[in-house]
């Protein structure tokens, strides 16, 4: 008997508004949350814009003690997890804790805290033999990437497999994929999954400056993230978190839970091509899409919406357009494909999970979120990118895809109540 995997709770911390209602409001309204950086003084950087979260941890119910010891990305994750768990109605006191898993992704983890404290112990970058006496007592928590999953697991009493996934910018998709496998293959009945990143710091902005991957459109931040547009000039850094409660379908039904949709399939492949570069053919991403559909037993022609990686770099959007055309064939031209990075920026490892939550909401509301700022078609990107305005549409099977530094190519398929037609 195959175990099916249901989504029973969602939570999100995203730029433009904290929580699921504000997030959907932003997406369905086609508004952008990109602006000049306020989290630090970006003077001297090539890209000085980002999509920041206006996040007050205390107002979102985080304890002062947690706020002191936990990095910003962990605070995001805890807030999103709390929303998702509340939404799911799971009573963890009544669950077998060994059957509750956690799978959370992050691309750069505690980098922001690591950098902050580095400045203290190095006298502003002056010494290699750093002075440990100036270090924060919680610094080791930023050093260890597993702190993310550990903190969330401890909060909800999960005692099953607990892992942090870090596959660059596909971390969020892959964390959800690992959670899907964990439930499908019987190692847990419930998995708290998703991803978080807070990469808006000097070192992370500077390292993307160095490879000119981020948009230098500092004069017009609201329109800087332009996926698929002919005038796109790089991605806009973002931050945030999204968490989903995944649950074995019968387990969810037995407790009378609301089921948003199912995760039907997941696959990932490497492109073995370049750490940052992408081919113009997108064969490996196409293969991930094919494998995810195959696992879900869904035909390419049954796909109703593709939530794109759509970062807004020259290479990515071309690569991804080619990949989707390869997998969906001529049906690609009839399938809306949009990038919410146009509105919430690119929060590295977190964005994949944020995009999966956007897909869950799209299925629930039967509305395709748009690609904001899309004005000028690019001959190399010739699909229907849902320009600027959200679009009501019958949605049964939706696909979320992503690419990450390191060559990762991942795809997650979500199916609504009318899905799986094959």
Partner 1 sequence: MTTEVTQVTVEELATLMKTAAGVTVDPGELERRADSTFAEFGLDSLGLLGIVGELENRHGRALPNDAERCKSPRAFLDLVNVALTTGA
Partner 2 sequence: MSGSGIRPRHTAVTGIGVVAPNGLNADTYWKSVKDGTSVLDRITREGCEHLPLRVAGEVRGFDASALIEETFLVQTDKFTHFALAAADAALQDAGLSSTAADSPYSVGVVTAAGSGGGEFGQRELQKLWGQGSRFVGPYQSIAWFYAASTGQISIRSGFKGPCGVVASDEAGGLDAVAHAARAVDRGTDVIVVGAAEAPLAPYSGVCQLGYPELSTVEDPTRAYRPFTPAACGFVPAEGGAVLIVEDLERAQRRAAVVRAIVAGHSATFTGASHWEQSREGLAHAIRGALDEAGCAPEEIDVVFADALGVPEADRAEALALADALGPHGSRVPVTAPKTGIGRSYCGAPLLDIVAAVQAMEHGQIPPTPNVFDVCHDIDLVTATARPAELHTALILSRGLMGSNAALVLRHGPGSAV
Residue 83, interface with partner 2 (CB under 8 A)? Answer: no
How far is residue 43's CA from residue 81's CA, in Å, rounded to a whole number? 35
Task: Give the x/- contact pattern for partner 2 in 278-317, rule: CB under 8 A.
Answer: ------x--x------------------------------
The binder of 297, among partner 1, partner 2, none, by C-beta within 5 to 8 A per type, is none
CA 389 to chain CA centroid, Å, is: 22
Residue 8's SS3 state is strand
Give the binding range for partner 2 (CB under 8 A) out of 84-92, 182-190, 239-247, 302-310.
Answer: 182-190
Return the residues of window 20-49 that contact partner 2 according to CB under 8 A. Answer: 44-45
> Is 261 one of the annotated active-site residues of the chain?
no
> Is 116 one of the annotated active-site residues of the chain?
no
369-401 b/e (C-beta count within 10 Å ≥ 16 → b): bbbbbbeeebeebebbbbbeebeeeebbbbbbb
Q: What angle do CA 336, 338, 339 make, to 5 degrees?
A: 170
Give the one residue of 89, 159, 233, 331 binding partner 2; rule: CB under 8 A: 159
Return the residues of window 314-353 that contact partner 2 according to CB under 8 A. Answer: none
Residue 160, interface with partner 2 (CB under 8 A)? Answer: yes
Alpha carbon separation from 100 to 1, 42, 82, 144, 182 (Å, rounded): 21, 42, 15, 22, 10
Closer to partner 2 at the Cβ: 59 or 210? 210
How far is residue 258's CA from residue 387's CA, in Å, rounded to a whole number? 32
With residue 317 as reference, give the H or E element that holds it.
helix 314-328
How far is residue 389's CA from residue 222's CA, in Å, rounded to a whole number? 16
The binder of 415, among partner 1, partner 2, none, by C-beta within 5 to 8 A per type, is none
Min separation Cβ 211 and partner 1, Å: 6
The binder of 39, among partner 1, partner 2, none, by C-beta within 5 to 8 A per type, is none
Closer to partner 2 at the Cβ: 108 or 350? 108
Closer to partner 2 at the Cβ: 348 or 381? 348
Min separation Cβ 105 and partner 2, Å: 9
Q: What are phi and psi of 61, to 5 degrees?
A: 85, 10
Give the one residue of 136, 218, 276, 279 binding partner 1; rule: CB under 8 A: 276
How far is residue 365's CA from residue 342's CA, in Å, rounded to a whole number? 20
Give the binding range for partner 2 (CB under 8 A) out of 17-25, 28-36, 99-107, 216-224.
Answer: 99-107
C-alpha dihedral sign at 48, 45, 140, 404: positive
Min separation Cβ 408 and partner 1, Å: 17
Closer to partner 2 at the Cβ: 167 or 339? 167
Give the one residue of 58, 119, 211, 230 binding partner 1; rule: CB under 8 A: 211
Min separation Cβ 340 and partner 1, Å: 27
How far is residue 277's CA from residue 14's CA, in Å, rounded to a whole number? 27
Residue 102's SS3 state is strand
> Is 274 one of the annotated active-site residues of the chain?
no
Residue 17, interface with partner 2 (CB under 8 A)? Answer: no
How far is residue 284's CA from residue 274's CA, in Å, rounded to a whole number? 12
Task: Give the x/- contact pattern for partner 2 in 189-228, rule: CB under 8 A.
Answer: -------------xx-xxxxxxx-x---------------
On the CB side of 112, CA atoms within 13 Å amount to 19
Residue 210, interface with partner 1 (CB under 8 A)? Answer: yes
Paired residues of 408 in beta bridges: 270, 404
Q: Which two tokens stand for residue 351?
A: 């964005």
* Residue from 309, 319, 359, 381 carrying the catalytic annotation: 309
Return the residues of window 104-143 that contact partner 2 according to CB under 8 A. Answer: 106-109, 111, 114-115, 118-119, 121-122, 124-126, 128-130, 132, 135, 137-143
Active site residues: 169, 309, 346
């Amino acid at each position: 008997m195959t175990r099916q995997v249901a989504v029973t709770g969602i939570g999100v911390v995203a730029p433009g508004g904290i929580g699921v209602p504000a997030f959907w409001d932003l997406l369905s309204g086609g508004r952008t949350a990109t602006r000049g950086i306020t989290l630090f003084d970006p003077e001297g950087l090539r890209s000085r814009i980002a999509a920041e979260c206006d996040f007050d941890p205390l107002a979102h119910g985080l304890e002062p003690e947690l706020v002191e010891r936990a990095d910003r990305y962990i605070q995001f994750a805890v807030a999103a997890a709390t929303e998702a768990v509340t939404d799911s109605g799971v009573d963890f006191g009544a669950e077998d804790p060994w059957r509750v898993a956690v799978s959370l992704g992050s691309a750069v983890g505690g980098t922001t805290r690591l950098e902050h404290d580095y400045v203290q112990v190095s006298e502003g970058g002056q010494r290699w033999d750093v002075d440990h006496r100036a270090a924060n007592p919680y610094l080791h928590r930023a050093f260890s990437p597993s702190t993310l999953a550990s903190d969330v697991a401890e909060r909800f009493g999960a005692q099953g497999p607990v892992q942090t996934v870090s596959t660059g910018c596909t971390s969020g998709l892959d964390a959800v994929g690992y959670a899907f496998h964990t439930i499908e293959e019987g190692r847990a009945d419930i998995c708290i999954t998703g991803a978080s990143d807070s990469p808006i710091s000097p070192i992370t902005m500077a390292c993307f400056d160095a490879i000119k991957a981020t948009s230098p459109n500092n004069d017009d931040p609201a329109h800087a993230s332009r996926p698929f547009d002919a005038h796109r000039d790089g991605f806009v850094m973002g931050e945030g978190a999204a968490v989903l409660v995944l649950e074995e379908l019968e387990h969810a039904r037995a407790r009378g839970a609301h089921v948003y949709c199912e995760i039907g399939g997941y696959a990932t492949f490497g492109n073995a091509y370049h750490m940052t570069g992408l081919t113009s053919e997108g064969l490996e991403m196409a293969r991930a899409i094919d494998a995810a559909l195959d696992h879900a037993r869904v035909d390419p022609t049954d796909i109703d919406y593709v939530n794109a990686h759509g970062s807004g770099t020259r290479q990515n959007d071309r690569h991804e357009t080619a990949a989707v055309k390869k997998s969906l064939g001529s049906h690609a031209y009839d399938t809306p494909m949009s990038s919410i990075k146009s509105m919430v920026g690119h929060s590295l490892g977190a964005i994949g999970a944020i995009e999966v939550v956007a897909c869950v909401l799209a299925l629930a509301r039967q509305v395709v979120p748009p690609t904001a700022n899309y004005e000028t078609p690019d001959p190399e990107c010739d699909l229907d990118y849902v320009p600027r305005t959200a679009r009501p549409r019958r949605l049964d099977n939706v696909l979320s895809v992503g690419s990450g530094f390191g060559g990762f190519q991942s795809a997650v398929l979500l199916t609504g109540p009318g899905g799986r037609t094959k």
